Amino acid sequence: MIYVLNGPNIGRLGTREPEIYGHTTYADLVDLCLATGKRLEVEVEVRQTDAEFEMLKWLHEAADAGAHVVLNPAAWTHYNIAIRDACAMLRGNLIEVHISNIHRREEFRHKSVISAVATGVIMGLGVDGYRLALEHLAQLGDQAQPPVNSDGHR
């Protein structure tokens, strides 16, 4: 099982700042992820929330299951320590995905509190980053990610 988890405002894809995020709708993104999972013969669960408590619940569920996660934390990327700490509990691999390149955006978006606990980061490739993340995780199979060390990094 691979969880594809999306944070705040991702449900507005297609209408939210199309000059940055493109015209792909959230429904299109879900279809892309499910079709990729089917092609790779892996079960994919796609979810989106604007509620922090719900995202935390899903990350805990993934941690308990030992599942891999593709996470677009959206605005939570830059400040949400609770989401970061939940990501650090994951036993499966975590790929942080961003549709835009956060380093080409406003300065306050340049820092990710998630990246240090992620297995890898894909950004700036549009929704195709999700496909690439799923392909990578499918290739890893059940291989666990390295544990978080004493300074909070993998």
Q: Which residues contact 146 (CB under 8 A, 6 or more apart)?
A: 119, 154
Q: In the structure, what pLDDT confidence band is assigned to residue 81 with cuts at 50, 70 and 90? A: very high
Q: Which one from 3, 68, 98, 130 is the annotated catalytic residue?
A: 98
The answer on whether 105 is annotated among ligand-binding residues is no
**Given 3-state DSSP classes, what are the helix, strand and coil percentages for the chain, each rounded to the nearest 5?**
45, 15, 40
91-129 tens-digit pLDDT? 999 999 999 888 776 776 668 999 999 999 999 999 999
CATH class of 2-140: alpha beta
Which is catalytic among the residues 21, 26, 68, 130? 21
Lowest mean pLDDT among 30-44, 53-67, 99-113, 121-135: 99-113
Instruction: Please say whether the beta carbons of 70 and 37 come within 8 A.
Output: no
150 assigned binding-site residue: no
Please indicate whether residue 21 is annotated as part of the active site. yes
Residues 52, 8 contacting (CB under 8 angstroms): no
Residue type, 150: S
Residue 100, marked binder: yes
- Give me the pLDDT at residue 100, please: 87
Domain extents in the chain? 2-140
Average pLDDT over residues 77-99: 96
End-to-end CA distance of the chain: 22
101 assigned ligand-binding residue: no
